[in-house]
Amino acid sequence: GAVVSQHPSWVICKSGTSVKIECRSLDFQATTMFWYRQFPKQSLMLMATSNEGSKATYEQGVEKDKFLINHASLTLSTLTVTSAHPEDSSFYICSARTPGGSSYNEQFFGPGTRLTVL
């Protein structure tokens, strides 16, 4: 299957700082990437859909100004948590969709980034 990478795999930062998380599709071009957030012992919740070359679509309740998403190329989407606070501590997972077709297995997940805000 296709490979999606995330960097960093974990990050610890002080409250008030900004953190950037990168999501890369390594062997395919992803026109669409998705950002999910997972709190401990909970499910994955979609935060936003990132489309290459256009603005991201955010889910209801997700602050656009706090979670900045940039999908500047067909292989890279970034999520920046601005002015992070302890309540933003979570596991952030991206997934990328392979272009075209109706393949069932067209969405591949990155390994996730664990953010801890002190």
Partner 1 sequence: AQKITQTQPGMFVQEKEAVTLDCTYDTSDPSYGLFWYKQPSSGEMIFLIYQGSYDQQNATEGRYSLNFQKARKSANLVISASQLGDSAMYFCAMREAATGRRALTFGSGTRLQVQP
30 vs 81, beta carbon nearer partner 1 = 30
> Which residue in 13, 66, 68, 109 binds partner 1 (CB under 8 A)?
109
E strands, 8-112, in order? 10-13, 19-25, 32-38, 44-51, 57-58, 67-73, 76-81, 90-97, 107-109
34 binds partner 1 (CB under 8 A): yes
Binding flag, residue 1, partner 1 (CB under 8 A): yes
Is 21 one of the binding residues for partner 1 (CB under 8 A)? no
What count of Cα atoms within 13 Å lies in the side-chain half-sphere of residue 96? 29
Q: Is 13 in the site for partner 1 (CB under 8 A)?
A: no
Q: Choose, by CB under 8 A, the member of 19, 21, 23, 32 that binds partner 1.
A: 32
**Contact flag: residue 44 with partner 1 (CB under 8 A):** yes
Instruction: Give Cβ neighbours of residue 54 (< 8 Å, ≥ 6 apart).
Output: 71
- The stretch among 20-28, 64-72, 74-82, 104-112 that binds partner 1 (CB under 8 A) is 104-112
Interface pick for partner 1 out of 14, 53, 54, 105 (rule CB under 8 A): 105
